[in-house]
Structure 1
Amino acid sequence: MKNWMGPLGVLVAAVLAWECLHLIVGEGSLASPSTTLVQLVSMVSTAEFWQNALETCWALICAFLISIAGGLALGIVLGINRFAGAVFEPIILNIYSLPKVTLYPLVLLIFGLGTAAKVAFGVMHGLIPILLFTMNAIRQMKPVYLRAALTMGLTPSQRVLRVVMPAIAAEISTGLRLSFSLTLLGVLIGEMFASQHGLGYLLTRAMNLGDTRTLMAIAVVLIAFALTCNAAFTSVHKRMHR
């Protein structure tokens, strides 16, 4: 019960702050919690909402899986090869510091409007965090592990699967949690700028129409989804560290 008191207190405080802000700025600028709840119930009962939600989930899954595969592969290569890692790490950090929205025309030119553009935006946000966490975790790994693997005559693939991955699993779980949040952000940005489907598209449409009730209802859905996924990743992370 005590574990729930903190989150519950934060939730109550957030709702009260929301209600106070609504009273200050008015319904035209910010829908009240009660109005948002009514709109949320109405919205989730429509087929349009679930079609767009599934579109977002599918793009998120694709982008996250690509980010995991690419980030782990590049991170392992750059982590094991110290010289390559030292050369490419500053380049990677400089690339990642670029505002991703500035690449919006290029993404549209290559992928067009649709799922591919959303996935590309998601990968652009989520791949590099996993890459950096993996690379740095291998650098901090005890050198005796790799020396022992070489002594036992393990092949490169066996060294990665049986030595490197188990040794850095806890650190990778932290990278996955951060990458998931950023991938979700990238997918939503892609839907807002380069798609005609998805929850990000519904957000943009609601903003253009000045529909604050729908805007807040979608925001509540996204916040609840992100917090749930983050709690799941946190649980996995704690188990990894144990």
Structure 2
Amino acid sequence: MSTIAVTHTTKPRHARRRLDGVVLVVVLVALWQILSELLGADVVTTPWHTALRAFKIVSDPDFPGSLYATGRAFVSAFAISAVGGVCLGLLLGARRIAGDVMEPLMMGFYSIPKVTLYPVVLLAFGLGLWAKIVFGVMHGVVPVTLFTMNAVRNLPPIYTRAAHTYRLSPLGFARFVLLPACVPEVVAGLRIGFSLTLLGTLIGEMFASQTGIGHQLMMAMNRSETGTIMALALMLFVFATLVNLVFLAWQRRLTHAD
């Protein structure tokens, strides 16, 4: 009986959530249309014309090459940010003194506009793939590290005592105790790190690349092509939103499982 009741309760909740999402999208599109009418199509193109421009960009023979260049850099940067951030967060969370020292340093680094480091990255890595990856990692690794570190710090002490009882090695403790217990918070950090890594990769393409979607965006800005800017921004927004919804659903499932 309880299972049936939970199922009946969950279904209306999911339906209501989907309806709220549809209403939100409709309201945003309506506000976009109103803003375009007020400011003019030269400033903000209408949703319909933006969608048409996005379709034209996707249909361009050069677009797959730009998408591949951006995707290659972004996937590499996000993989480094995720693995490096989780490992560093586990280490700093387990070593509280080291974490207390590193946390303000990381926050200080993160408060610096990364564009100011553009000359350093350019001199070190040149124009190309690695410059974009470095820009992405600089934006994404810090939130993943901080979320993971705080998750380890909030771990119930009984987990640590159990690990000592079973005489787990530091690697075994991290693999079998720390990481499974911290997964929901780690996923939250990955969700934030994903968006910021994408932002950093695009900034890297805008300033340190001659290919990719970020480079296309920079060229459109230089030419004052509002339609292209809006279309590229729309595609990036939709992509980031969909992936964040997947991460959010994963995080909710893990939290509910706990």
> Do these two structures clear the TM 0.5 threshold for a shared fold by scoring above it?
yes
Residues 92-241 of structure 1: matches in 2 within 5 Å? Answer: 92-241=106-255
Rounded to whole Å, the distance in 2 between the matches of 1:86 and 1:27 is: 51
Rounded to whole Å, the distance in 2 between the matches of 1:238 and 1:167 is: 15
Rounded to whole Å, the distance in 1 between the matches of 2:53 and 2:92 is: 49
Rounded to whole Å, the distance in 2 between the matches of 1:210 and 1:186 is: 22
Q: 3-state DSSP class of the match of 1:47? A: coil
Partner of 2:46: 32
What is the TM-score of this pair, normalised by structure 1?
0.96
Counterpart residue identity of residue 8, structure 1: V
How many residues align? The count is: 242
Deviation at 1:3, TM superposition (A): 2.7
- 1:182-228 deviation digits (Å, cap 9, x = unpaired): 10111111111111111111111111112111111111110110110
Rounded to whole Å, the distance in 2 between the matches of 1:68 and 1:35 is: 37
Tell me, which stretches of 5 or more residues in structure 2 are unaligned?
1-14
- 1:86-143 deviation digits (Å, cap 9, x = unpaired): 1221111111111111111111111111111111011000001111111111111012
Deviation at 1:35, TM superposition (A): 1.6
Partner of 1:80: 94
Of 91, 111, 125, 2:105 maps to: 91
Rounded to whole Å, the distance in 2 between the matches of 1:52 and 1:103 is: 24
Deviation at 1:32, TM superposition (A): 1.7
Tell me, which stretches of 5 or more residues in structure 1 are unaligned?
none
Deviation at 1:2, TM superposition (A): 3.0
Bigger Cα displacement from structure 2, 146-155 vs 57-66: 146-155
Structure 1 runs of 4+ aligned residues shifted over 2 Å read 1-4
Rounded to whole Å, the distance in 2 between the matches of 1:63 and 1:169 is: 21
